[in-house]
Amino acid sequence: MIPVQGVEDQTVAVLGLGRSGKATAAALQAGGAHVIAWDDGVDTREAAEAEGLHIADLTRDESWHGVTMLVTSPGIPHLYPHPHPVIARAYALGIPVDNDIGLFFRSYAGAGWDEFDRAPRVIAVTGSNGKSTTTALIHHILRECGRPSQMGGNIGTGVLSLEPARDGEVVVIELSSYQTELARALTPDVAVFTNLTPDHLDRHGGTGGYFAAKRRLFAEGGPDRAVIGIDEAEGLYLAGQLATAPSDDRVIRVSAGQKLDRAAWSVFARKGFLAEYRKGRQVASIDLRGISGLPGAHNHQNACAAYAACRAVGLPPREIEAAFHSFAGLPHRSQLVAEIDGVRYVNDSKATNVDAAAKALQAFQRIRWIAGGLGKDGGIAALTPYLEHVSKAYLIGHSARDFALEIGQTPYEIAETMEQAVAHASAEAEAGDIVLLAPAAASFDQYPNFEKRGEHFTALVEGLKAR
């Protein structure tokens, strides 16, 4: 645990008592704060109270007496589409609102750092797609190269539940737009921006607000190095905003298709090869085509971003390349579940939007595609250019029939459930086919989250192996 600094003898309110909220309350108490807490769920409040937390009804004015700060969980709206009433009350009372990410950045550095030979560092990763894989890949590379490392944030361990820093350690954290938008302190040593595609737009008041939330990681804290994916206009703009001159190598530009040989420092992938250029000269090259844990152009972009971040903290190219080969990938992200009679089954349940599904569809040939769920605004018509390798679509969930109207001439069936989709796809598949779960939709119509959806797919495939 990382005790929160600067809160001794203060009364701090915590809103939201899920995993991050309870961890935040514990870290505040470890820092000497008096914590009062609230959650809209009765069962959640009762469980937290049974664990020793002091519950105070923050919807009542009398509960705010003496409160100096409100710390909110990331899933609770604080601006759009409208602030949660408790957060709105804090604004009206002039009480600062923060989240666990802001508390982490203000508390991570400790007095003991003066005795370290090498100061700990923080790499923070944000973006629309690929940030979890990029975060996990950086963490994997660091550990394979012998550097002490922890991973947390939006993936794995909550930031305040991480262990205090060790000599020379690199902490790698994934940050969602919900987290970057509100944090009052954002000071990573290296910040990574993977890409930007429309998502969570109601929460941010549109694409501009969504990009602004991501941009805060770079504009507020001023990282020593910024790794920026420039394949979209927003990334190109951000790189231009951060660099002071064409020779400024504090910005490392990254692409999954463009040759970048004019920037001061760049990493890009073309035709399956990663290249690093510095001051117009190629300094490294890696063949990504045979790396099973990083299939497809979208994973090559992730590899470029992770490579650049690791180079920014001093790791050599050959050691990074060796670590690539031992990376198994993340569950639910182009995860190879099994190969049965020459048919490969791939779980990309995390492909919850059109852009992520498009990248999965481009990564494979001869696809039997399982898609559907709770469709998002705009539907999936934009996927039409990426369906040329789809032999047949098996559509499930709430939006199955809507999706059927948007996939052009692609053969399909309304399978309704995952059980039917897997059974029918496996029965019709031939050796060399890929049965790909890339839903292009949220999971909430049939599953509590994308992980449960992917786990169900995986369990069904494991059942095929047992036959």
Per DSSP bridges, beta strands 170-174 and 343-347 are: unpaired
Instruction: Name residues whose C-beta falls within 8 Å of residue 53's C-beta, 6 or more positions apart in sequence.
Output: 17, 22, 25, 35, 37
127 is in an annotated binding site: yes
Tell me: is residue 133 an annotated ligand-binding position. Answer: yes
On whether 129 is known to bind a ligand per the annotation, the reply is yes
Provide the CA 253 distance to its chain's centre, in angstroms: 20
Instruction: For residue 62, give the amino acid letter.
Output: E
Mapping DSSP onto H, E and C, the string for the chain reads CCCCCCCCCCEEEEECCCHHHHHHHHHHHHCCCEEEEECCCHHHHHHHHHCCCEECCCCCHHHHCCEEEEEECCCCCCCCCCCCHHHHHHHHHCCCEECHHHHHHHHCCCHHHHHCCCCCEEEEEECCCCHHHHHHHHHHHHHHCCCCEEEEECCCECHHHCCCCCCCCEEEEECCHHHHHHCCCCCCCEEEECCCCCCCHHHHCCHHHHHHHHHHHHHCCCCCEEEEECCCHHHHHHHHHHCCCCCCCCEEEEECCCCCCCCCEEEEEECCEEEEEECCEEEEEEECCCCCCCCHHHHHHHHHHHHHHHHHCCCCHHHHHHHHHCCCCCCCCCEEEEEECCEEEEECCCCCCHHHHHHHHHCCCCEEEEEECECCCCCCHHHHHHCCCEEEEEEECCCHHHHHCCCCCCCEEEEECHHHHHHHHHHHCCCCCEEEECCCCECCCCCCCHHHHHHHHHHHHHHHHCC
| Single-letter code of the amino acid located at 408 | G
Report how far residue 453's alpha carbon sits from residue 332's, in angstroms, rounded to the nearest whole number. 9
326 labeled part of a ligand binding site: no
What is the side-by-side strand order in the sheet with 97-98? 54-55, 34-38, 11-15, 67-72, 97-98
Cα–Cα distance measured from residue 49 to residue 17, given in angstroms and rounded to the nearest whole number: 10
Strand 281-287 to 97-98 pairing: unpaired
Q: Binding site for ATP: residue ranges?
A: 127-133
Q: Binding site: residue ranges?
A: 127-133
